[in-house]
Structure 1
């Protein structure tokens, strides 16, 4: 590799954030999935890139649960009812409580975005991780703004604690599961996100917020591996895994769209994915420059810098 080419420090970038917001989304049943996903990314999503406060904002499009990827473990369920399986995870990072407050006080997140959600969402559950709880333990992909299908098999692994195991579950998930898994040579990205007991942190008029079922998640791991067969090796770790976890649901991440990275909107966050693809295909490099983007989008281009004005 050319020594002059700077390799992004994705781990450092993401771990600079103190707070993380995870939402689980279910699309409207009366609309085609493609309509819901396109609206989510190119209409609803770009509004986040116009508001100050977010350090990172990504959308993970999910496939159906894959219980077949794991070996059988006594006392551990890998099955999830279809109605309970989310189809998308928007994931946001905030550097500080002050940035979260600034984001929440802006007219877009405070009013417009919640009132827009019913156009594509049938249900949403939003959870704010404990301060400093979420951590990216490894990232060998080294792309802070992934757009489209991930380069290697990627999964959102969602954990249901065993009854009576809630106390200490976050420490178990981070130290006994996520950290050893991150050291496996075939794991190329791992972020662990402890979650509080379910109570939606956001409300949207016309969108249901009650969790669809009895099993709610107390944490999730974003896992990217060189080969899906690695998953069986990982589960051979803690001998008491099933004493802490009653169910593990495995959602393949079909696509990732990064709308904000390092506190600033990406091109996809500003323009929407189809426009960026057209600009790249046409070779219209002038459309990607700071001068044109600032003319078009004003202070939104500066992202978090809007909060740092003297």
Structure 2
């Protein structure tokens, strides 16, 4: 792909209920809940990213940029949705009632976030469910949104692409609103100092290949000045990707 494909997307970090065994929540998310969500119209792609409960916080560190994922703010995965058009994204809420009602069966907190029109970039062709990596980014206060978006899409994306990522998507989000995904019976608390403003999804041949990407000269270049744009870069290993809807 010579140029990244612009997408309108929805990313929803999720926390499993603390009173359920993890394996039960994982199974329900990939099974019954996926079948309910998979019936929704207007989605060009929907993939569940299940995070490792132990392998996280390994993005290269630099002064004043937090890379350790706080134990009490470690999410269990993310639902990644790509829409065929902005109109399709705007029409989605009217179809979500069954999904909203089902989320209380497995989730404790859901933080739906949207990119806005063309706010995502898909850098690679095809669909790759190899070993994955996801880093969520927190914009430094005082840095303009336009500067942050340029850093994510014009610096981080090209660097990882040039370094050899097999699958690569970059996203920047609209300002947080709990009404984007108003699940009933599920928490939406998202304090200002914990909010994320962007995300990078990377696929590689193996966990070792992810490490090689992060040690590359291209990544070293963006890490050198990430403190000018970011206050946090929290990395998670994607233990399993579950493709619910594919083009």
TM range (shorter): 0.7 to 0.9
Match of 2:182 among 182, 189, 203: 203
TM-fit CA distance, 1:114: 0.6
TM-fit CA distance, 1:70: 4.3
Larger mean Cα displacement after TM superposition, 227-236 or 157-166: 227-236
* Equivalent residue, structure 2, for 1:192: 170
Match of 1:54 among 23, 38, 43: 43
Larger mean Cα displacement after TM superposition, 225-234 or 45-54: 225-234
* Equivalent residue, structure 2, for 1:94: 83
Q: Does residue 228 of structure 2 align to residue 243 of structure 1?
A: yes
TM-fit CA distance, 1:91: 0.9
* Equivalent residue, structure 1, for 2:215: 232
Q: Distance in 2 between matches of 1:59 and 1:97?
A: 21
SS at match of 2:123: strand
TM-fit CA distance, 1:20: 0.5
Q: Which has the higher contact order (CA 8 A, sep 6+)?
A: 2
Structure 1 segments (4+ residues) deviating >4 Å:
none
* Equivalent residue, structure 2, for 1:66: 56
Query: Which runs of 5 or more structure 2 residues have no equivalent in the other structure?
Result: none
Q: Distance in 2 between matches of 1:247 and 1:154?
A: 20
Aligned Cα RMSD in Å? Answer: 2.3
Q: Distance in 1 between matches of 2:197 and 2:74?
A: 15
Larger mean Cα displacement after TM superposition, 78-87 or 163-172: 163-172
Match of 1:30 among 19, 25, 41: 19
Q: Distance in 2 between matches of 1:237 and 1:173?
A: 13
* Equivalent residue, structure 2, for 1:274: none
C-alpha change, 1:52 and 1:70, in structure 2 (3 Å) is closer
Q: Does residue 111 of structure 2 align to residue 119 of structure 1?
A: no
Number of aligned positions between the proteins: 238
SS at match of 1:37: helix
Q: Distance in 1 between matches of 2:21 and 2:144?
A: 37
Match of 1:181 among 157, 160, 167: 160
Residues 177, 237 of structure 1: 8 Å contact kept = no
* Equivalent residue, structure 1, for 2:132: 154
Match of 1:43 among 28, 32, 35: 32
Q: Distance in 2 between matches of 1:219 and 1:235?
A: 17
Pick the structure with greater CA Rg.
Answer: 1
* Equivalent residue, structure 2, for 1:170: 149
Residues 67, 235 of structure 2: 8 Å contact kept = yes
Under a length normalisation based on structure 1, what TM-score does the superposition of the two structures give? Answer: 0.71
